[in-house]
Chains A and B, each alone.
Chain A
Amino acid sequence: MVATSRASLRVDRLRALNVPVKVTVRTDEQGLPTVVAEDGAVGEDDGRAIEEILEIWRVDDEWWRQPIARRYVDVVLVGGGHVILFEDLITHEWFMQRP
């Protein structure tokens, strides 16, 4: 789950940049992503295959209020796109962000 800002977004207030976008991810037996698609896409042909996994890391933070636990995977998509995927380890949902 993505921790929301305490402030409601409004004109004149800050708007976060690079907000994570929810995606659907197919994973292999090790739990690593192999295909990423728009949220809700379920077909075999949907999505883009992942060509290479560059890096994996984990972030655990803010345990004192709304805990954040994420597993980040830095990937290169087939065709050359470079994105960062992360799995929210509390809700087990996947999100995509720009590097």
Chain B
Amino acid sequence: MVPRTNLSLNHDIVSELAACVWIPLFALRAEELRRPELSNRPAALLAPDDARRLWHVSPVARRYGVKAGITVSQAIGLCPSLTLCEPDPVYYDEQFARLLLALSNVSPVVEPVELGKVYVGVDGFDRLYGNAEQQLKAIRDAIAGRRLGPPNRRRWQRRFVNTRTRGKTGPGWASWARLGWARGKFAAWVAAAKAKSGEWTIVSDSTRSTFLATQSVAALPIQSDTHHRLWQLGIKTLADVARLPETAMVAQFGSEGRRAWRLAAGIADDPVVGRPRPEPIVAALDYLTPVADRGMLAHALGILIDRALKHPRRVGWRVHKVQTRAMLEGGASWMIEATLKDPSADREHITAPLRVHLERSPPIGAVEHLSVEFVEFAPGTAELQLFARDAQSSARAKRQHALRNAVREIRTRLKRSALYHVIEVHPWSRLPERRYALIDFEP
């Protein structure tokens, strides 16, 4: 039995029933997984685009009055013991990609929205897992890396779950994840927002209207100005919005008003839209004169991976498994394969394990034809596009990699990390020693 999915005109797979997985403060949680000591301390992440401001603030720090968006100097004034962390967007992307991979083992319809927020299509899951609660349990188990598919459904498992591509996420994520189940993404999102950490809210079709009616207009995905105007007009709940004529909302707020009204009235059609995984991508070259030199083969591998990465079908996806094949002089063949622990769109990241294989078990003869094939992919989001897909992010990842190596070397030599990052604390202070400060640099 397989999940019932619909194919839209552009061949996206869609699901009307949605489960929303929401992990608030995803980036900070990722840091806590890497540095467990942060979980009990007041901690905050600096904004990736403005190191003077805070991005994510831990619940402990919030008790001191520290909020996201305030400056470092304000935060230190409120909480002198605050631990500040450098943001590491590439690492957060990797963690999120693992989460997506784990969820894609549960459902073929996965729609990432932003770091820490994903919709999972659950159409047909009743026949696989049982009721909504059991479906959510399966999702939560997948997030915790405990389970792969429905029990006693080997056929399904064979078809949809590749045991070699399990996403290991760890129980930490499951304890932070808030889950919501409903028809349509909006209702599922509101349900997830209502749930406590590690728990879920289920909104059945029969209770959907009542559930949505009592929610605040703050739940609507509209601009803050529109929220403000709705409040000024005394419209505070979704029931208040739904009571208005649709035309009145359109007259006041345009297309945004129409969408808000439809969401509030529970008639908006917002299914989860997954993307079919791309077909394998192949890049190949023929040698006029057969080549046996390992250095030349390694260089050619890099070029072929570069070429395959630029393939339009690869856009929006990270490579999870890559194969290299060669036709050898005399008719023999050679093949190596690498499964990346962290799916990547970075040339060096993909090439490194292949080079290791090449060194360990090189071709037994000269190569006439060499090909690289991306076999499996992991989905990316808009943020992943920002951080890992373009040239800039690739350069950033390379810098990060080089820094990590340098730090490792320094640690080995000095027995401690002696690298710091300069941040602006109070740049306009009349006392020079209060203008800038150092924080530990952990690339």
Contact = CB atoms under 8 A, between A and B. Distances in A.
A18 B433 contact: yes
Given A61-B430, A61-B431, A68-B431, A17 B80 contact: no
Contact of B420 (A5, A15, A97): A15
A98 B433 CA distance: 9
A6 B82 CA distance: 12
Contacts of A99: 432
Contact of A16 (B41, B81, B437): B437
A14 B431 contact: no
A44 interface: no
A78 interface: no
Interface string B423-435: 1010000111111
A13 B432 contact: no
A57 to B, nearest CB: 9
Contact of B438 (A6, A7, A15, A70): A15
Contact of A98 (B83, B430, B432): B432
B434 A16 contact: yes
A91 B413 CA distance: 42
A14 B432 contact: no
A20 B437 contact: no
A98 B438 CA distance: 16
Contact of B80 (A6, A15, A16, A98): A6
B430 to A, nearest CB: 5
Nearest to A3: B431
A5 B434 CA distance: 9
A17 B437 contact: yes
A18 B80 contact: no
A54 interface: no
A2 B83 contact: no
A29 interface: no
Contacts of A13: 81-83, 439
Contact of A12 (B76, B422, B437, B440): B440
Contact of B433 (A6, A7, A19, A61): A19
A89 interface: no
Interface in A18-68: 18-20, 59, 61, 68
Contacts of A19: 433
A84 interface: yes
B439 to A, nearest CB: 6
B284 interface: no
Contact of B425 (A3, A14, A59, A70): A14
A20 B433 contact: yes
Contacts of B425: 14
A12 B83 contact: yes
Interface string A71-98: 0000000000000100000000000011
A7 B80 contact: yes
B433 A14 contact: no
Given A61-B430, A61-B431, A17 B436 contact: yes
A56 B432 CA distance: 15
A99 B432 CA distance: 8
Interface in B391-443: 420, 422-423, 425, 430-440
A7 B434 contact: no
A97 B437 contact: no
B430 A14 contact: no
Contacts of A70: 431
Contacts of A17: 422, 433, 435-438
A57 B422 CA distance: 27
Which of A12, A16, A99 gathers the greatest number of chain B CB atoms within 10 Å? Answer: A12
B433 A2 contact: yes
Nearest to B436: A17
A96 to B, nearest CB: 11
A97 B438 CA distance: 17
A92 to B, nearest CB: 18
Given A6-B80, A7-B76, A14 B434 contact: no
A97 B193 CA distance: 51
A61 B428 CA distance: 14
Contacts of A6: 80
A84 B437 CA distance: 19
Given A14-B423, A59-B431, 19 more contacts: A3-B431, A7-B80, A12-B440, A14-B76, A14-B425, A14-B437, A14-B438, A15-B420, A16-B433, A16-B436, A16-B437, A17-B435, A17-B437, A17-B438, A18-B433, A20-B432, A59-B430, A97-B433, A98-B432
Across the A-B interface, give the 3 residue pairs with the lowest CB-CB distance, nearest first. Answer: A7-B80, A14-B437, A15-B438
6 contacts: A2-B433, A7-B81, A14-B425, A16-B437, A17-B435, A70-B431
